[in-house]
Structure 1
């Protein structure tokens, strides 16, 4: 029985018609205008409340209700539109119970989603659980859609946060199968030496040193004839770096190296839960890059599924190897859209930091759709150049290509160009080089595993679904 949920935690939103207390989302101007509930306004002025961003003031009752909290003021600061998910703090600040938001001119959907996102806690290994704070769905927000998006983000966070002793390739397969079974999808896997028999040599090479056998997971859902979408997620459950071993500091977070797999699983959840008219394929090469006498070595040369030979110049550039076989497999029956997601390069983080999801594509129309969806969903993306001038850098004297160009320049671009070699028939392809982790707490996200770009991608795929 998989411990992962494919629906959001029941305590996030209040049941319909529940008796709720108000939370007034206010700016300093709202206090000055005097348009607030008179009791709450008087209390705010008496308390010297300034409505600073993220601040909360509890309003006590009067008369027979004295001693009880009857309302709350939540500060948005002077520029509330800059923080669409500021309400994520409320689940941590409010007393237990049912609440509703009182706002003016703000996006009800974002306010509710922010609250839900901020309610997340990773409690699998904790004995103390969080208190039960629930929010009524604001008018104009779609409960099913909110819960669908929360379920997807929570699943991605849970998978990434789970340590590798409970999230190796077999456990990732169990979660993958659980997701498929929940939505009636067909799930198959190719495990261990069968990868060689079925011509997935690079996936086998990367994972063969681990006690947990490497595998390729595949999920199929939907009907033929509908637009075909393939999602490919890097599932390196732990990355030691192999024989080119990482230092201790760089290895500490390597349980998150399956963040690409976690994110495409979250995206697949939304597609299936919404019943989109999409012919969906999800591929996850699940491996552990370990060290043993059977580990692959620097200088080795391997033939990929596509037939291209790859020289191994760094065993820590393993993610692009497992993706290569999976991408080549998907490209043999080209979908209308192929998206791969991977925690692939540190260079991407140097380029855009840890809060943006960088992507590569040579499809201008697709990129425009991504950016439009990113804006509407407040799910930030940034396009990086798929600059063919650097393609010469991935060439090898001894093989067709190298997995690790020398020089260290444009590392995220050369990684994307490496992957592009394995996608030749599919017209629309995008590669997302995501971080998969929150380093500093945000209103809507605690420190830990995170979903990147999947809400924007869901909107993009939703727009191409057959009506």
Structure 2
């Protein structure tokens, strides 16, 4: 099986013309008012069904088989926009149609599809086959491509590092490019020094899997230039400033930025958006050996800025620095970087909100509007220049790890800002890339953050 299951994954949606059974998605008010199948309503009242959010009641047919189902939306369906993600887990196998006025058909279809995801690469048991019939009013192709992008990001994060190291991440990157006719190149190992990616080489050189810099190009020149940069740290031991066991347990997800920009790139290319797309992923493993970089070392970046290493566990910003500098040399109209960068971002906003940083007020407004429209939450944090002094170093231009530990997400963003001077618009996302507790639309594991909202923003810009 490939590491990107969207290639083989069967659709969550019914074939056109399939015979379906109804699911009545209802609120408590709907139960009081009726308005749907009287037999199902009578059964619900007899069973004491209250339409609590996520509750399911199967309704028997006259022949003893299941004839329909009732699904509770709770009193305010807006509080759980993707609650339909529970249906693939609760319904018996087969083809179903949902009848409701409380949720838009597109939102319902997306929620159902997101909830149908399962990471079964290492499982021997088979999942149920529950399919949803989509009404003609829904853009099924767009729903499918958003699901494919999200599932690609989830899959890549979920696969453990023994099967998703730098070389395997390059394989997945190339497969994505091949699928859409993109041009993919890579710079590997000591060639990184020849091609002036010194910080990527520095961070990744201690691994048995050589570091590499991946680039994908797609689209036509002359269209708006969009560059996506993703942190591809396939595993982060912390280097010589080694993490404790508890903090290392989830470090396969430290390439979540790369996974997310690849998922976003899939959406863009599959939709055929009129953009000149560039995707950049520095892919490394932050490991330990005799040639590992050390605290106190000083290195010159691609941009010429010198960086003192005060903590080898602050490696993500180093590889992003070279990638952003490279992107900035041919300035894009929009530059987006995504990374699992700081624990401080999680302290500030928790694991469910995607923090972002930008000086572009128009872009920020577009992102906030798209986040609300797509139920893809994010929150802006400030690029507060008052903290810029904290990243300065006595021995070099800047440090990769300011002392004191305060405002860590902001100082990391300010570090990256030093390497973006020409791009017309830049936004930095510091994401978690993981779900800690099951949600209706997302199981515990790797997750896509903000890419559905970003897809909307880029799609709207490309259409102008």
Question: Per-residue displacement from partner, 1:193-242 (whole Å, max 9, x unpaired)?
Answer: 00000000000000000000000000000000000000000000000000
Q: How does 1:44-83 map to 2 (within 5 A)?
A: 44-62=44-62, 65=63, 67-83=64-80
**Relative to structure 1, is the Cα distance of residues 71 and 46 closer, same or farther in structure 2, using a 3 angstrom cutoff?**
same
Q: How does 1:51-450 map to 2 (within 5 A)?
A: 51-62=51-62, 65=63, 67-450=64-447
Whole-angstrom CA distance in 2 between matches of 1:94 and 1:120: 15
Q: Is the 2:77–2:102 contact (alpha carbons within 8 Å) kept by the matching residues of 1?
A: no
Partner of 1:40: 40
CA drift at 1:8? 7.5
Cα deviation 1:135-187 (Å, max 9, x = unaligned): 01134211000000000000000000000000000000000000000000000
- Distance, in Å, in 1 between the alignment partners of 2:339 and 2:405 is 19
Partner of 1:25: 25
What displacement does 1:7 show? 4.8
- CA distance in 2 between partners of 1:259 and 1:34 (Å): 46
Tell me if structure 1 keeps the 8 A contact 2:334–2:423.
Answer: yes
CA contact (8 A) 1:317 1:403 kept: yes
What is the match of residue 452 of structure 1?
449
User: Using the alignment, how far apart are the partners of 1:466 and 1:313 within structure 2?
Assistant: 45
Q: How many residues were matched structurally?
A: 464
Question: Contact between 2:27 and 2:75, CA under 8 Å: does it hold in 1?
Answer: yes
**In 2, Cα distance between equivalents of 1:53 and 1:202:** 50
Structure 2 SS opposite 1:302 = strand
Distance 1:450 1:50 in 2: 32
Q: What SS class does the counterpart of residue 74 from structure 1 fall into?
A: strand
The alignment's TM-score, normalised by the length of structure 2, stands at 0.99
Task: Tell me the distance in 2 between the aligned counterparts of 1:322 and 1:353.
Answer: 25
Residue 23 of structure 1 aligns to a residue whose secondary structure is strand
CA shift for structure 1 position 105: 3.9
Q: Is contact 1:298–1:314 with CA below 8 Å preserved after alignment?
A: yes
Write the distance in 1 (CA, Å) between the matches of 2:235 and 2:107: 34
Please provide the CA RMSD for this pair. 0.9
- Offset at 1:10? 1.9
Q: Is the 8 A contact 2:199 2:302 kept in 1?
A: yes
Query: Match of 1:195, SS?
Result: helix
* Contact 2:115–2:440 (8 Å) recurs in 1: yes
TM-score scaled by length of structure 1: 0.98
Q: Bigger shift: 319-328 or 136-145? A: 136-145
Kept in 1: contact 2:5–2:155 (CA 8 A): no
The structure-2 alpha-carbon separation of the partners of 1:115 and 1:221, relative to structure 1 and needing over 3 Å to count, comes to same
What is the distance in 2 between the residues matched to 1:466 and 1:212? 41
Structure 1: 5+ residue stretches without partners = none
